[in-house]
Structure 1
Amino acid sequence: MNQGQQIVIEGIYEVCIGVPEAITAIQYWEQFGYRVGQEGELPAAIAKLLYGVDSPLRSIRLYHQDADHGLIRLMIWQHPTNTGLGMGSMKVKGNRWATTLTTDILNILNHAEEAKAAGYPLRFTHPHWEVIYNKERKSRPFADTMIGVREMLLLQPLARQVLFQRFGYTLPDYGNINIDSPFKTSQFTHMGMVIQDDSKEKLKFYDEVLGLLRVRDDVETSYESSLAGREIFDLQPGEKFFVTAFDDPRSSTTDFMAARSGRLYIIRFPDSMNIDSHFEAAQPGSLGMCLYTYRVRGLNQFSDRIKASPVQQFTTIVENEFGEPSFSFVAPDGYFWTLISN
């Protein structure tokens, strides 16, 4: 986008999570370094206008140190519409999840194992080794520095998380660890979605209309190439997907050290695969991870651009539960979004 027109978008601002009550959710996310910030309410009539949900709403925004992205909004609906994605497969259209950087992934695994043994409802994978950058580089074990990550999936009824720990490298603007948090974790560094579109036409919305920076495109992951990808996305032999990533425009397409968190990962499965659709379980009114937001400068211009694009539906600009001018829309790929005036 032309920043001279003061139309600016940054990294994903919030992951919105529908919860039946606030106290338990706040206690959980405090373990990951979040803290209570703003609180606000909407009557049913305004919630219907902005989110399409005919229910009174109370929301609590959770902050993470001084981060200006990767925050959490807890949404407590008086009348939730459904129980959300829960612990269902990650290989569904409509899927949402959020990823967090940690320096203590084994401690998180310890808690997951103990919770599972105690009968808690959750599903997780063990932390698998993945090489993210310079995949062609061959390291000599016990001689060279190993450069990669350990990443694990943690699914619970109200949270769909991927957690990762880096080894052998750092990215200065991609996740800021709260060293005082019990799990030594950052704000959400990236968020994900699943689509099917061999034409890739639906991807154009995110850079050509929203103005995000496409930093990775068509990176292939297959059952055979990635144990983590296989287990997290329930891949079967011969199955694969492609990854496209959209960043804050201040990021870089050539210098991975300039990468910024707040990234949107879109997992694109081939049209030939039989994948269920659960968009109805991952939109406002649902419990669990149900909405992502962007904060933008020039909200009216964004509204005009989006209305002129091939979106499925859009709302007028109204004040959200925090008194911030906002509007919502359903993108061409079927995902519900809300933009907030910066």
Structure 2
Amino acid sequence: MNQNPTIEGIYEVCIGITEPMPMIEYWQQFGYRIGKTGELTAPTVNNLYGVNSNLRSIRLYHQNVDHGLIRLMVWEKPTNEGLEMTSMRVLGNRWATTLTTDVLNILNHAEDAYLTGLPIKCTFPQWEIIYKTDKGRPFFDPAVGVREMMLLQPLTRQVLFQRFNYTVPEYGKINHASTLKTSQFTHAGMIVQDDSKETLQFYEDVLGLLRSRDNSETSYESSEAARQIFDLQPGEKFTVTTFDDPRSSTNWQEARSGRMYIIRFPEEIKLQSCFEQSQPGCLGMSLYTYRVSNIKYYFERVKNSAATKITDIVNNEFGEQSFSFVAPDGYLWNLISK
């Protein structure tokens, strides 16, 4: 067994539910399939996740990838309804992003769902220039960018994007056999407020993640997608910091998916705090996990940091060594042993 301490990209996005079949069928359209299943009784669940409920979980795999997976957490007694259709500009927000080759097809389904009366909110896929390249002549040279849309439902909070005229080979693997022609989750997002950026040091200094992008500013005036997805108002802006699998690269063409995407709003903007609706026991997207080797190494590092509510290392519902903690920015995390 490899005892060298290593950490990978975001391993799972965990979704609290009460009925598994509708969610399994939904994610199958995005190329996921049923993998491991497991159960825990309430006392162990309370030790690991701080929830007084029996738990049954189902891990969903996506092709042969080792990150960007889904864990459906079936709670016998969920603590609350979760984030539901709450705005994306709240503290505690969690969402997951997926690459697709047909974003308009997903928009078609979302609009059909809306017309049938299902609770759903989506934005039109806006044109965004993610990576700065030499500008060509419109209608003559390739247009390099993405179409990006948001899709909110009571149990899922998604951003989907389609690339045009560029590739990042290790950033998202499309399952072409899936109905919606989508990849695993390429990154997961959070909202923070910390003008000093001190809380973000935790991810670099304690967990050893690669800070691949920092202080990238987005304003109301510069991004139509940000206006729609994050309800930016005139004159408002936020900055983006990203943390990657250490095997990734700051060269965007060599980046690996599994990214943590942090949107930092200025402290002067009043944001609602929804941490109580986005942690284990809640319904909807409520937890992210990282997979590590030498979990005791990471346990000691976290224990000697500014993290709080650190649990003991116990076996999770899949029989894997695991522990949880709250990072200095207020988000609850779970680490899993490889």
**TM-score of the superposition, structure 1-length normalised?**
0.97
Equivalent runs, 1:40-119 vs 2, <5 Å? 40-119=38-117
Superposition deviation, residue 37 in structure 1: 0.3
Mapped pair 1:189 → 2:153: no
Mapped pair 1:274 → 2:233: no
Taking the aligned partners of 1:222 and 1:312, their CA distance within structure 2 comes to: 33
Taking the aligned partners of 2:4 and 2:272, their CA distance within structure 1 comes to: 40
Aligned to 1:132: 130
Amino acid at match of 2:6: V
Give yes or no for contact 2:3–2:293 (8 Å, CA) kept in 1.
no
Secondary structure of residue in 1 paired with 2:290: strand
Mapped pair 1:309 → 2:305: yes
Aligned to 1:325: 321
Of 231, 246, 251, the match for 1:234: 231
Amino acid at match of 1:330: V
Amino acid at match of 1:190: H
Secondary structure of residue in 2 paired with 1:314: coil
Aligned to 1:212: 209
Amino acid at match of 1:323: G
Unaligned runs of 5+ in 1: none
Secondary structure of residue in 2 paired with 1:25: helix
Of 187, 197, 200, the match for 2:197: 200
Superposition deviation, residue 20 in structure 1: 1.3
RMSD: 0.9
1:211-243 per-position Cα deviation (integer Å, ceiling 9, x unaligned): 000000010001000000111000000111000
Superposition deviation, residue 256 in structure 1: 1.3
Equivalent runs, 1:3-14 vs 2, <5 Å? 6-14=4-12
Superposition deviation, residue 180 in structure 1: 0.3
Give yes or no for contact 2:14–2:287 (8 Å, CA) kept in 1.
yes
Unaligned runs of 5+ in 2: none
Superposition deviation, residue 17 in structure 1: 0.2
Equivalent runs, 1:146-165 vs 2, <5 Å? 146-165=143-162
1:270-302 per-position Cα deviation (integer Å, ceiling 9, x unaligned): 010010100000000000000000000110010
Taking the aligned partners of 1:5 and 1:241, their CA distance within structure 2 comes to: 39
Amino acid at match of 1:30: Q
Secondary structure of residue in 1 paired with 2:179: coil
Of 268, 280, 283, the match for 1:284: 280
Aligned to 1:244: 241
Secondary structure of residue in 2 paired with 1:76: strand
Secondary structure of residue in 1 paired with 2:9: coil
1:80-120 per-position Cα deviation (integer Å, ceiling 9, x unaligned): 00000011100000000000000011110000011001101
Secondary structure of residue in 2 paired with 1:12: strand
Taking the aligned partners of 2:320 and 2:137, their CA distance within structure 1 comes to: 53
Amino acid at match of 1:311: A
Taking the aligned partners of 2:248 and 2:226, their CA distance within structure 1 comes to: 25
Superposition deviation, residue 139 in structure 1: 2.6
Secondary structure of residue in 2 paired with 1:313: coil
Taking the aligned partners of 1:21 and 1:58, their CA distance within structure 2 comes to: 11
1:160-213 per-position Cα deviation (integer Å, ceiling 9, x unaligned): 000000001011100000000000000000000000000000010001100000
Taking the aligned partners of 1:304 and 1:38, their CA distance within structure 2 comes to: 28
Give yes or no for contact 2:88–2:230 (8 Å, CA) kept in 1.
yes
Give yes or no for contact 2:327–2:333 (8 Å, CA) kept in 1.
yes
1:32-76 per-position Cα deviation (integer Å, ceiling 9, x unaligned): 000000000000000000000010000000000001000000000
Taking the aligned partners of 1:78 and 1:18, their CA distance within structure 2 comes to: 10
Amino acid at match of 1:194: I
Secondary structure of residue in 2 paired with 1:267: strand
Mapped pair 1:340 → 2:336: yes
Aligned to 1:177: 174
Secondary structure of residue in 1 paired with 2:27: helix
Superposition deviation, residue 5 in structure 1: 7.2
1:235-255 per-position Cα deviation (integer Å, ceiling 9, x unaligned): 0001110000000001112x2
Superposition deviation, residue 138 in structure 1: 2.4
Taking the aligned partners of 2:206 and 2:274, their CA distance within structure 1 comes to: 25
Secondary structure of residue in 1 paired with 2:204: helix
